Amino acid sequence: MPTINVKGQPVFYVEQSHGDEQQTLIMLHGAGGTHRIWLLQVNGLQNFRAIALDLPGHGRSGSAGRESITSYADFVLEFLGALGIEKAIIVGHSMGGAIALELALRQGPQIIGLILVGTGARLRVRPEFLHGLQENVEDTISSLVTWFYGSGAEKETLHQGEAELRASQPEVLFDDFSACDRFDVMQRLGEIGVPTLVICGDEDRLTPPNYAQYLRDHIPGARVVVVPGAGHMVMLEKPQEVTEAMQSFLDSVLY
């Protein structure tokens, strides 16, 4: 499990290579998350080099978090440069999906595909969550967890998700959710010109299926997969279904 310095700051990531490694996937977590949410996909996808990282200020990565989606996107480009990756498919969940959209809208040659999971073109955050992350972090985290998962999520999954949020720095959590709240590219989706897959759980209350449908309807050529019985953390709740949807898309579009 390597660490690389990006502009003097340590960045932790996990990597798995399968098959002939024709393409590289860069997998981005959401607000307050870590690389952990992607481990089942990192290990399950075939014929790709899959890399899941901890964004700055998260998990085992150093430095502070960022205060905007554009700043996180700048960092991802720096990370690609540090690893010598010239082209990548960006996989993003929630805030990570916003970062992926920002990168695609810059229309640089590095980004050749998108997989957007549990995200939207606009990510408004409930005011009580933003207020709570400043005034009552412990109770707010407990409330957030009930919104993150679908009705069928296993107790162990819920406990792990809550533990990960509680391990986050409170200021990083607040900055992440504030960055999401300010994010809005609803009027720009038509500018995206790379193959795109959108995945959403049908019980997602934070970025519900209509968010996914909006992305599908406004990104040229985009596809959507709605996973039954899953909430916002669809890749953890229904890992096989998500991995299969990703693999099918990658095999059909990028080969």
Q: Which of 86, 20, 84, 92 is nearest to 52 (CA)?
A: 92
What does each of the 255 residues of the chain score in pLDDT, given as a tens digit?
699 989 889 999 999 987 655 689 999 999 999 999 999 999 999 888 999 999 999 999 977 889 999 999 999 999 999 999 999 999 999 999 999 999 999 999 999 999 999 999 999 999 999 999 999 999 999 999 999 999 988 888 889 889 989 989 999 999 999 999 999 999 999 999 999 999 999 999 999 999 999 999 999 999 999 999 999 999 999 999 999 999 999 998 865
DSSP 36: G
The pLDDT assigned to 47 comes to: 87
Q: Which domains does the chain show, CATH number per domain? A: 3-253 (3.40.50.1820)
CA distance 167 to 188: 35
**Spatial separation of the C-alpha atoms in residues 31 and 23, rounded to whole Å:** 26
Residues 6+ apart with CB under 8 A from 18: 45, 46, 47, 48, 49, 50
- In 3D space, the residue among 254, 242, 253 whose CA is nearest the CA of residue 117 turns out to be 242
